[in-house]
Structure 1
Amino acid sequence: MSASCHEPPPYDLVIGGGLLVHPHRSVPVSGDVAVRDGRVEAVITPGSADARCGRFLDARGLLVTPGLIDLHTHVYDGRTGLGTPADTVGVEAGVTTLVDAGSVGCDSFAHFDATVVATGSTRILSWLNISRHGLTRGTRELAERDSIRHAETVRTILENPATIRGVKVRMSRSVVGDNGLEPLRAAKRVTAEVAAATGRPFPVMVHVGNAPPALGDVFDLLEAGDVVTHAFHGKRGGLFPAAGSGPISQALAAVRRGVRLDLGHGSASFAFDTMERALEAGIGPHTISTDIHQENVAGPVRGLTTTMTKMLALGLTLNETVRAATSAAAETIGLDGELGTLAVGSVADLTVLDLAEGATRLVDAEGRTRTAEALLTPVATVRAGVVHDIRKATE
């Protein structure tokens, strides 16, 4: 996929010959992306730099997007039951940035930082769990009232601002026990203190599932920039209170004030039927994420590009789908302009994709199926200017 160049290179790398999928344009456009010192140096006329670069990555017949960002993952491998190796679902799967969603809390963040964030090739960020234990002691991390340490959580966030991008709280019956809405209120107190200390918005990501607490009550506590993940599950007590009804009023009000709905596929948290009803009601996903972990990486999730393909099958355009896995995700974690874009000066994180035609059977978390007319598959990942050739690695 590469060729030697014969002149002193003005660029370290050129990704050339592909169609560029800019998140905020309606259709892909021709162009080559030139990289220098780990950043996008220029977007140039196709073919104009093939012989003047340090390396040429041939993307002919392929799509070139900003580096994919998976906003909801579990990659604390070995220390939690769900953790999966980061690079396996990261750069080896076309994803440049993984945001671990609450695997760790303040007690274990330092170990996570040293053993996961600082190792491997994929960029790892974190939604810090409001529970001090995260998922290191199982999945009922909020059932005990003394699991939340406000001061220690705030201090951990303020000491690690580059990595910790928000707070995660899981608000479903099996997690919170008898604590009701208090864990979410505690998370909001933490994010308010962090926002005041840093001068920038600091979001909460809320996992929703089986009630109690009621979904409407959860929405009522959220503000602009906060995220509801698993928003399109098919369980009782979700977005739609009854067959044939519209979405619950609290969800509509929350979306209007800027609360973001995240797909968060997972093993039991994404239903084609729910997503189709939501799209008809005009409240599709702001972001597309996987909730990928050990128990679903072999199916039904498989990876971010498969999850994106499911949204293509439900009618989202290619650009809408890419936006939800790039620029919208970057905005959510406060890194817009730095990640999730092909703009000059941004980090040179890119994904090269093949949109291969042919009917593909897709399965949601409830075992229901849809058929896609084409499948997005990763061919190469460029992480801060470094190429990870997926196709060559699997040959």
Structure 2
Amino acid sequence: IRDLAILNIAVHGMRGARYEQDLSDMEAAPAVAMAKKYKGLIVGIKSAHYAGPEWAPFERGEEAARQAGIPFMVDFGSNRPERPLYDLLNKIFRPGDIYTHVYSGLRGEQDPVTKGPSQALIDGRKRGVLFDVGHGGGSFVWRLAVPLMKAGFAPDTISTDLHIGSMNSGMKDMLNVMSKFLNLGMSLEDVILRSTWNPARAIQHEELGHLTPGAVADVAVFRLEKGQFGFLDSNNARLRGTQKLTCELTIKGGRPVWDLNGITFEDWDKLPPDYGPQSAVPPQRKQR
């Protein structure tokens, strides 16, 4: 795992509603100091789950991100008349800031008449706001994702929002989320782009997410399976699909860390007759 962090504007972080609603716990200065202290490791500032009518968490988060020179990511919590989504995306956000959970259907992302993206999303994209999947355990529904994708509103970045509640429900893992967008009509090339290079650029780590000679050797080798598959959203509604990605091999920093079918190892009958526990030398990966 390569650990990079997006720092919550709330000092106590995501410890529950008591902390996430406490405006006195949200200040720009400590966040800026921490982001500068761990420059490169802290790649963004975040506000999450705030339900009150005030703009303070978003204004302070934006200020901290601006001073630190990193993007501001928002899980908008709830779309209230006093602080509508349109104003967040088009008045507070800067170009390059990130709106996550774009297919949640909870915060004014969908036009109630056309069923396509709301004007907030359309105008926000024109300004350079980035839109992230952030599937999670309750933030991705087919009734929103299908019509928005049909209207051409694809995410800039594909992500999981991995936690216990999401990995054991409709989200499952990164490949499952990527496969969902394949079955929504996105090309394999676009799915990979929005899962690798686009996120790397969004967090200002352009040494990652690509296969340019000399780049960091973080590589995933996928198998594209064809068949009949089912994909659940956050409410356990199913979309039927015919394509699914499986990971054959994962390399981090040039070293294999996952090998589903042992393709980096030698066949057993080509090893020394005494290979195994009694041998002082364990089997080595094949040299390529």
> How would you bin the TM-score normalised by the shorter chain?
0.7 to 0.9
- Would you say 1:131 and 2:5 are equivalent positions? no
- 1:317-361 Cα deviation digits (max 9, x unpaired): 00010001000011111112x111010111000001111221111
Are positions 1:228 and 2:99 aligned together?
Answer: yes
Find 1:331's aligned residue among 194, 197, 201.
201
Rounded to whole Å, the distance in 2 between the matches of 1:274 and 1:177 is 22
**Aligned partner of 2:89 among 219, 232, 250:** 219
Structure 2 residue 17 is the aligned partner of structure 1 residue 149: no
Q: How does 1:283-362 map to 2 (within 5 A)?
A: 283-336=153-206, 338-362=207-231
| Distance (whole Å) between structure 2 residues aligned to residue 292 and residue 231 of structure 1 | 16
In the alignment, which of 55, 58, 72 is matched to residue 204 of structure 1? 72
* Higher strand residue share: 1
Which one of the candidate residues 63, 75, 83 is aligned to 1:189? 63
Structure 2 vs 1, CA of residues 275 and 245 (structure 1 numbering), >3 Å: closer, same or farther? closer
| Amino acid aligned to 1:206 | V
Q: Which runs of 4+ in 1 moved over 4 A?
A: none
Deviation string 1:306-326 (CA, Å, 9 cap, x unpaired) is 000000010000001000100
Alignment of 1:367 with 2:233, yes or no, is no
- The CA distance in 2 between the partners of 1:246 and 1:316, in whole Å, is 17
Alpha-carbon contact 1:140-1:176 (below 8 Å) kept: no
**Aligned amino acid, residue 227 of structure 1:** I
Give the match for residue 27 of structure 1.
none
Q: Give me the whole-angstrom Cα distance separating, in 1, the residues matched to 2:164 and 2:116.
A: 35
Of 133, 136, 145, the match for 1:263: 133
2:50 and 2:76 in contact (8 A); partners too: no
Q: How many residues align?
A: 259
Identity among equivalent pairs (%) = 28
Structure 2: runs of 5+ lacking an equivalent: 263-288
User: 1:101 — aligned with what?
Assistant: none
Matched, 1:273 2:143: yes
Q: Which of 245, 254, 273 pairs up with 1:376?
A: 245
Matches within 5 A, 1:62-73: none
Aligned residue type for 1:157? A
Which residue identity lines up with residue 367 of structure 1 in the other structure?
N
Measured against aligned partners, the alpha-carbon deviations of 1:185-223 in whole angstroms (never above 9, x if no partner) come to: 00111112112xxxxxx1011113432242222212111
Paired amino acid for 1:219: L
**Secondary structure in structure 2 of the residue aligned to 1:123:** coil
Are 2:146 and 2:184, in contact at CA under 8 Å, matched by a contact in 1? yes
Q: Equivalent residue of 1:295, what SS?
A: helix
> Retained in 2: the 8 A contact 1:209–1:238?
no
Match status 1:240 vs 2:122:
no
Q: Which amino acid aligns with 1:210?
A: S
Q: 2: distance between equivalents of 1:384 and 1:360?
A: 33
TM-score where L is the length of structure 2: 0.85
1:285 CA drift (Å): 0.4
The answer on whether the counterparts of 1:127 and 1:166 sit within 8 Å (CA) in structure 2 is yes
Relative contact order (alpha carbons < 8 A, sep ≥ 6): 1 or 2 greater? 1
Say which SS state the counterpart of residue 140 (structure 2) adopts.
coil
CA distance in 2, matches of 1:223, 1:141: 26
Q: Is the 8 A contact 1:348 1:382 kept in 2?
A: yes
What letter corresponds to residue 204 of structure 1 in structure 2? F
Which segment is superposed worse, 304-313 or 210-219?
A: 210-219
Aligned-partner Cα distance in 1 for 2:50–2:209:
34
Alpha-carbon RMSD across the aligned residues, in angstroms, is: 1.7
TM-score by length of 1: 0.63
Alpha carbons 2:115, 2:147 under 8 Å: kept: no
- Specify every segment of 5 or more residues in structure 1 that has no aligned partner in the other structure, as ranges: 1-121, 196-201
Rate the CA distance shift 1:245–1:372 in 2: closer, same or farther, 3 A: closer
Query: Which amino acid in structure 2 is aligned with residue 229 of structure 1?
Result: T
Residue 250 (structure 1) shift? 2.4
| Contact in 1 for aligned 2:115/2:148 (Cα 8 Å) | no
Secondary structure of the residue aligned to 1:264 is coil
Give the structure 2 partner of residue 103 of structure 1.
Answer: none
Tell me which amino acid in the other structure corresponds to 2:182: L
Note the C-alpha offset of 1:367.
2.1
